Amino acid sequence: MTTSDTISANDIGARGAYLVVINGAGAPITVTVSDSSLTPVGNPATTTASSVTNATSKTFYISPAAVNLTTNVVTVAFSSATSVTYQLFPLG
């Protein structure tokens, strides 16, 4: 794992997926999931970093709308990759 990974649209599927981030590090990390969707009036969606406390896990929903149509992936950025793992659970 690196501080920036990509998830293929094929892995996310038509119904989205849950990304479970497990922070085994001694400090909190931030996770940012790219969002290439648009608001109802056509503005780019806002991407917000979310904190995962050390020695805990947090689940993120990744919508199919978040997929960048040019690259066909969603990018997930981590503030640190040390002792951090994740699992992806497609919804079907």
Domain regions of the chain by residue span = 4-90
H-type alpha helices, the chain: 9-12
Q: ∠ CA(32), CA(36), CA(42), 5° rounding?
A: 130
pLDDT higher than 90, residue 30: yes
Q: Are strands 17-23 and 29-33 parallel, antiparallel or unpaired?
A: unpaired
Q: Name the CATH architecture for the domain at 4-90.
A: Sandwich (2.60)
Is residue 16 pLDDT above 90, yes or no?
yes
pTM for the full predicted model: 0.89
Do residues 43 and 9 make contact, with C-beta atoms less than 8 angstroms apart?
Answer: no
User: Which of these, 67, 59, 78, 57, lies nearest to 11 by C-alpha position?
Assistant: 67
Which residues pair with residue 87 across a beta bridge? 20
Running DSSP on this structure, what letter comes out for residue 4?
E
Summarised one tens digit per residue, pLDDT across range 40-90 is: 888 888 888 999 999 999 999 999 999 998 899 999 999 999 999 999 999
